[in-house]
Amino acid sequence: MNSKRVFTDKELKEMGTRTLDLVMEAIDAGNKEKARELVNRMHQEYNHLHDGYMFWVSGLLTYIYKNYGIDAVEEAEREAHTIEAKVVFKPPEKTDFRSRVEHLAKSLRGHMQPITIKEDDEKVSLTMRPCGSGERIIQKDGYKPEVGLSRVKEPHRITWGMKDFPIYCVHCPVMETLDIENTGNFGSVHLVTEPIYRDSCQFVFYKNPADIPEELYTRIGKNKPAASNR
């Protein structure tokens, strides 16, 4: 009797096993080449899912913007980030300067791009080259007409007052705004170019919040606190 099966039991089991578990098995077995192969596979798998969600979110924001306008995009972003902060992107348990920088670096590594981190007497800056989400959407031609993602035409507080602003990137001004409203000041600030896609954005932690330039507040419609030391 001829079998109509396509896969062996072993193949089915391995196909359904987490790549991480297979990596650990290869390491325990001393099989470096297999571990290397699986690590690359895991990176490709995660990158596929990461980019899929990135474009999915951008597509939803494009729909909201085209049909309901930029204020509705801001409302949706505020709601989404408030929910995710309760479940996934929780603030660090420790709130000292060092812990906040380490927490952001941990989050940014999830984009799987190299990060350049620099420190001087005034601040610590983190720069992904390229930015693992907003900049890569641009590199992947997400805003070309044939793809259809929107750029926000009009200046707005969630575009840092810029025109022609990539729809995905509005979450950064929104997150800055929520930081101020929830804690009284920024967590990190974004130093950006105009147009925003001319260079990679920087995430910057100022050691003394009083050193944060006033224009970084006004561009999102906020006033710089009179006394802002932490």
Q: For the segment 182-206, what is each residue's pLDDT rounded down to a tens digit?
A: 988 898 999 998 888 777 899 999 9
- Rounded to two decimals, the pTM is 0.89
Q: What is the mean pLDDT of the chain?
A: 93
Query: What distance in Å separates the CA atoms of residue 12 and residue 204, rounded to the nearest whole number?
Result: 47
Q: Nearest CA to 49 among 215, 41, 175, 165?
A: 41
| Confidence check: pLDDT of 115 > 90 | yes
Query: What distance in Å separates the CA atoms of residue 58 and residue 169, rounded to the nearest whole number?
Result: 9
Q: Domain segments of the chain: what residues? A: 70-218
CA 34 from centroid of its chain's CA atoms: 31
What pLDDT does residue 196 have?
A: 81
Three-class SS state of 148: coil
What average pLDDT score do residues 99-113 get? 93
| Confidence check: pLDDT of 53 > 50 | yes
Domain 70-218, architecture per CATH: 2-Layer Sandwich (3.30)
What pLDDT does residue 2 have?
A: 61
What average pLDDT score do residues 29-55 get? 96
- DSSP annotation of 91: P
**What percent of the chain is predicted at pLDDT more than 90?**
82
